[in-house]
Structure 1
Amino acid sequence: MKYILASIFTVVTLAAVAQPAKKPLKIGVAGLIHGHVGWVLNKAKAGDVEIVGIAESNKALAEKLSKQYGFSMSLVYPTLDEMLAKTKPEAVTAFNDIYGHMEVVEKCAPKGIHVMVEKPLAMSYDHARRMKALADKHKIFLVTNYETTWYATTQETLTKAAAGDLGTLRKVMVNDGHEGPKEIGVGKEFLDWLTDPKLNGAGALIDFGCYGANLLTHLMSNERPLSVTAITQTNKPDIYPKVDDEATILVKYPGTQGVIQASWNWTFGRKDMEVYGTNAYIKTVDGTRMSLRVKQSEPEQPMTLEPMKTPFNDPFDFLTAVIRGETKLNETVQGRLSSLENNMVVVEILDAAIRSAKEGKTVVLER
């Protein structure tokens, strides 16, 4: 018996040793001017993905980040066209301005290269429609990354809501933002386009309103709202003369109201939501802390969740799993939040919010 067990152990061990290690996903990076680019650069440094090329015309910025993150300047190309032609990545992650997302898809989709953009998908609904048409035609994955997608509290809240544990949803309030990009010290390159209405589409409304639109759209099963009403203002015109720094967006559905509060004026950074149903409500605090209340006679029940596990805790691990067929977008909370179906509605809401704030009236979405 001892020898049989030993033989089995040997076979299992040899099989494990013989199993080839998975090759990291070959990624191209389009732009280094987004302040979140450190996310993918750190992943490459850890060996979880392989950056085969970087498209960035700002050589000084590339050299600065090369020293900071340890990548070779030989990976840097002055244009996206040259990077794609010489490195042939499996996927491209866009860390340029939001206006530039469309160009990334225009150049990658015909080559069959999958694309992940930083939130939101696009700066206008017109751009989003053109991007979707290209992704559909060339059968590529076009996904959008939000930090809150990888929160355990997001998973728990959206799962409970979908299961009917909260009852019929009546009000959803999503609060996102911080003290302001300049106030928290973002880099000059990031600040320059983040506060440019052409390159970003708006200010806080786009930067942080997209989180609420993304979560609300999932909670409403990708249903388009009936109408959107938005109020924006600029409380700090000396810092943000061209864009809003404060936005409140009311999103109306049959029987449900969404309230999205996006701000560059919060006391400190926050990403949280409150979901109220006819049976119970949930309040989240951050990625792992939340509370649930099911009875008026009982207090809120605080909960601390375990962080999500790979590949559902990280956009690049998740992108790898999707491209390699190890998970499907429409089968997980993370996939549905990242999907084109969700994010087309997100951009439609944001587009309507910009128009509503500009015109001073409710925008009714065409059916």
Structure 2
Amino acid sequence: MSRFADRSGPIRLGMVGGGQGAMIGSVHRVAARLDGAFTLTAGALSSTPEKAQASGREVGLSDDRIYSDYTQMAQREARLKDGIEAVAIVTPNHMHAPVAREFLKRGIHVICDKPLTATLAEAKKLKALADKSDALFVLTHNYTGYPLVREARARVAAGELGDIRVVQVEYPQDWLANAPAPDNKQAEWRTDPARSGPGGSTGDIGTHAWNLSRFVTGLQPEALAADLHSFVDGRLVDDNAHVMIRYQGGARGMLWCSQVAAGQENALHLRVFGTKAGLEWFQEDPNALYITPIGGPQTRITRGSAQTGDAAARMTRIPAGHPEGFFEAFANIYSEAATAIRARRSGVGLPEGVTFPTIDDGVEGVAFVDACVRSSKRNAAWVTL
């Protein structure tokens, strides 16, 4: 049982990273507070003391709960009677593992941005520690929080598509189509292999596409062949990848991720085809899911409608026709995490239907990047995962 089992009220949340100028930090903070389940209590929002103080005050933290050293934060918060119960890690990839270790070994739950770590070796070591810890580990593959992604998953599991034959998933963007300005902080670390890891687009957005296809289909990949390329001169990580996938049982898949696709904003798109029907979901139009039986008419299923089942309804906040989007899906991951943490508080099992990406999903994502890099170095040879 967690050392926080006797505590009640909103879950006290800390954050490492996500200071001024960091987009994903603000997204996590909005998601965490949307349902009132968390209250941001402490943070090491920057390793620079002045920026840490300014960032912490900006989001309403008390001066004595603002840190510039995450180790000091973990040590002190673990001793406080009102110390944090969970920490959100929103740093560049190479810092995920060292930060998570400090909190896991003190029994503080971890909510970590993806990818899990910069390297596969780090991911495996972190999983070994997480498995021994009393703390939960939640990975924010936020696209799995969309109601109609949950609906798609439920329909595949119920056999509505029949046996899966083909999985097509793509995630094109264009924001790195040219060399970024020197002061573009988000682009700067994402294109530095020392901080992002060996994968560029594969790690940043390819892992999302990979996780989404795994979450919806449940298929287990056994091998892949990847052609990774950097189109921008001087770039040290991939900015485009085409990946063919072989699944256990005979299904085939293809994943395309790109950050140099002109005109594409955040075009995550999943299509799954089976022996009975196919489905399609598009992240930029997330309130619709399309199901088409072989030889039959296409059905458009909308979020919050009578056509959706329990899995989607659990993720839905407002009636049909009122669009829900990115923040709500992200908040659904935090809501599921809060339910799991409260279950730990009470010493009971996880309620039926609660699901969220875990450290196992994180290891799979980093293994995907590692396999893509290995394959591409061998002229897109097939490699096992």
* Shorter-chain TM band: 0.7 to 0.9
- Match of 1:206? 203
Determine the C-alpha separation between the residues in 2 that align with 1:236 and 1:230. Answer: 19
1:362–1:219: structure 2 CA closer, same or farther, 3 Å change rule?
A: farther
Q: Secondary structure at the match of 1:226?
A: strand
Matched position secondary structure for 1:270: coil
Q: Secondary structure at the match of 2:174?
A: coil
The alignment status of 1:344 with 2:350, answered yes or no, reads no
Moved more, 152-161 or 306-315: 306-315
Work out the CA distance in 2 between the residues paired with 1:71 and 1:182: 38
Structure 1 residues 316, 358: closer, same or farther in 2, change over 3 A?
A: same
> Pick from 42, 45, 48: which aligns with 1:53?
42
* 1:115 counterpart letter in structure 2: V
Contact 2:49 2:67 in 1 (8 A): no
| 8 Å contact kept, 1:63–1:73 | yes
Unaligned runs of 5+ in 1: 1-20
Task: From the superposition, tell whether residues 228 and 187 of structure 1 become closer, same or farther in structure 2 (CA, over 3 Å).
Answer: farther
Name the structure 2 match of 1:81.
Answer: 71
1:292 maps to amino acid: I
- Where 1:27 maps in the other structure, the secondary structure is strand
Confirm or deny that 1:156 pairs with 2:121: no
SS in 2 for 1:355: helix
Q: Using CA pairs below 8 Å that are at least 6 residues apart, which structure has the higher relative contact order?
A: 2
1 CA distance for matches of 2:194 and 2:258? Answer: 19
Does the CA contact (< 8 Å) of 2:177 and 2:260 recur in 1? Answer: no
| Deviation of 1:164 (Å) | 0.8
Q: Residue 302 of structure 1: which of 274, 291, 300 is its match?
A: 300
- Asked if structure 2 preserves the Cα contact closer than 8 Å seen for 1:45 and 1:70, the reply is no
State the SS of the aligned residue for 1:41: helix
Larger Rg: 1
Mean alpha-carbon deviation: is it higher for 190-199 or for 156-165?
Answer: 190-199
| Shift, 1:358, TM fit | 2.4
How high is the TM-score relative to the length of structure 2?
A: 0.79
Kindly tell me the number of residue pairs found equivalent between the two proteins. Answer: 340
Q: CA deviation at 1:96?
A: 0.5
Q: Which moved more, 1:178-187 or 1:36-45?
A: 178-187
Contact 2:239 2:258 in 1 (8 A): yes
Aligned-residue offset at 1:23:
1.5
**Structure 1 partner of 2:289:** 290
Q: Partners in 2 of 1:260 and 1:29 — Cα distance?
A: 32
Query: How far apart, in 2, do the equivalents of 1:186 and 1:217 lie?
Result: 36
| 1:35 aligned residue | 23
Gaps of 5+ in 2: 1-6, 79-83, 305-311, 318-327
Matched, 1:247 2:241: yes
Among 3, 8, 12, which residue is 1:26 paired with?
12
Distance 1:192 1:215, change over 3 A: same
Matched-pair contact (CA < 8 Å) for 2:228–2:240 = yes
Give distance in 1, aligned partners of 2:130 and 2:164: 33
Residue deviations 1:16-66, cap 9 Å, x none? xxxxx9611111111126531102333567654222221221345445645
CA distance in 2, matches of 1:344, 1:330: 25
For the residue of structure 2 that corresponds to 1:302, the secondary structure is strand
Mapped contact 1:148–1:271 kept (Cα < 8 A): no
Deviation per CA, 1:217-248: give whole Å up to 9, x if none. Answer: 3345363x22111112222326xx22211112
CA shift for structure 1 position 347: 2.1
When the two chains are superposed, the root-mean-square deviation of aligned CA atoms in Å is: 3.0
CA–CA separation in structure 2 for the residues paired with 1:71 and 1:150: 28
- 1:272 corresponds in structure 2 to 269
> In the aligned structure 2, how far is the partner of 1:28 from the partner of 1:137?
22
Question: Aligned partner of 1:345: which letter?
Answer: E
**How far apart, CA to CA, are the structure 2 residues paired with 1:23 and 1:174?**
40
TM-score scaled by structure 1?
A: 0.82
Whichever structure has more helix as a proportion of its residues is 1
Match of 2:321 in 1: none
Displacement after TM superposition at 1:275 (Å): 0.7
Q: Mapping of 1:132-211 within 5 angstroms?
A: 132-180=127-175, 188-201=184-197, 202-211=199-208
Which position in structure 2 is the counterpart of 1:4? none
Moved more, 31-40 or 180-189: 180-189
Looking at structure 1, the residues matched to 32 and 359 of structure 2 have their Cα atoms a distance apart, in angstroms, of 26
Asked whether 1:237 is paired with 2:256, we answer no
Q: 1:361 to 1:179 in 2, by over 3 A?
A: closer
Distance, in Å, in 1 between the alignment partners of 2:244 and 2:380 is 12
1:365 aligned residue: 384
Determine the C-alpha separation between the residues in 1 that align with 2:272 and 2:186: 32
1:291 Cα offset (Å): 0.9
